[in-house]
Amino acid sequence: AQSVTQLGSHVSVSEGALVLLRCNYSSSVPPYLFWYVQYPNQGLQLLLKYTTGATLVKGINGFEAEFKKSETSFHLTKPSAHMSDAAEYFCAVTNNFNKFYFGSGTKLNVKP
Amino acid sequence: GAGVSQSPRYKVAKRGQDVALRCDPISGHVSLFWYQQALGQGPEFLTYFQNEAQLDKSGLPSDRFFAERPEGSVSTLKIQRTQQEDSAVYLCASSLGQGGTYEQYFGPGTRLTVT
């Protein structure tokens, strides 16, 4: 069985500050990992994904995440927050691309 | 180009009524997924289609839930005898193929409220 834990349902940062959203997963087989962003009244949009290869992956809007197998983590970071980054972020895991498991989400608030 | 569309966007049903939720995936997309997103939670997998074949329905919560994709394009999620715990946003996603190369594109969801 697989599962995803996102620590912190709400994170608040100042504009220009580092963004760190945490994601830990459990999986009995090598996982494939994803981060999605959801703006109000919109569908989820893929930010980035780890499937194979380099463990540091870069996504859209300046976000990146690092797959750390020893820590079973896939934390999302952005060096400098922008007001437009305010949204809800979801981490997801799959091992077969048929069935995806999502975390409960982290709402990011960016203060001016 | 057009993305994934879902209809209706909002549905209010009285407990015990049947509902049908429609998903129009991106044209040519082989894979189609349904998720249920309760308030304050992340999406929970319901079922997966590859073309018209329903390859995984392990997430359907009860036999009141039924999904179909008869011609490998449009899909319908049907909920019979709705209960209050069925209130949620139902998300549909499609992808061009199966595997890590392919991105899931999500629709805006249908918000179902059972009164």
Judged against a pLDDT cut of 80, whether residue A87 lies above it is answered with yes
pLDDT at position A96 is: 83
pLDDT confidence bin for B45, thresholds 50/70/90: very high
pLDDT at position A97 is: 83
pLDDT confidence bin for B72, thresholds 50/70/90: very high
For the residues B78-98, what does the mean pLDDT come to? 95
pLDDT at position A108 is: 97
For the residues B32-57, what does the mean pLDDT come to? 95
Query: CB distance from B41 to chain A under 8 Å?
Result: yes
Exposed (0-12), middle (13-18) or buried (19+): which is A10, by Cβ within 10 Å?
Answer: exposed
Query: CB distance from A40 to chain B under 8 Å?
Result: no
Distance from CA of A16 to the nearest CA of B (A): 27
Residue of A47, A100, A107 to mutate, interface with B, max B Cβ within 10 Å:
A100
Exposed (0-12), middle (13-18) or buried (19+): which is A17, by Cβ within 10 Å?
Answer: middle
pLDDT confidence bin for B28, thresholds 50/70/90: very high
Nearest CB to B48; choose among A92, A98, A102:
A98
pLDDT tens-digit map of A16-27? 999 999 999 998
Say if the Cβ atoms of B42 and A99 lie within 8 Å: no
Cα separation of A107 and B2, whole Å?
A: 28
Say if the Cβ atoms of A104 and B41 lie within 8 Å: yes
pLDDT confidence bin for B92, thresholds 50/70/90: very high
Percent of chain B whose pLDDT exceeds 70: 99
What would the DSSP string read from start to end of B28-86? Answer: T--EEEEEEE-TTS--EEEEEEETTEEEE-TT--STTEEEE-TTSS-EEEEESS--GGG
pLDDT at position A99 is: 87
Judged against a pLDDT cut of 80, whether residue B13 lies above it is answered with yes
Cβ-based contacts of B35 with chain A (< 8 Å): 102
Say if the Cβ atoms of B41 and A105 lie within 8 Å: yes
pLDDT tens-digit map of A22-54? 999 998 777 899 999 999 878 899 999 998 888
Judged against a pLDDT cut of 90, whether residue B9 lies above it is answered with yes
Judged against a pLDDT cut of 70, whether residue B1 lies above it is answered with no
Bond before B8 cis per omega within 30 degrees? yes
Distance from CA of B105 to the nearest CA of A (A): 7
Mean pLDDT (chain B) is 94
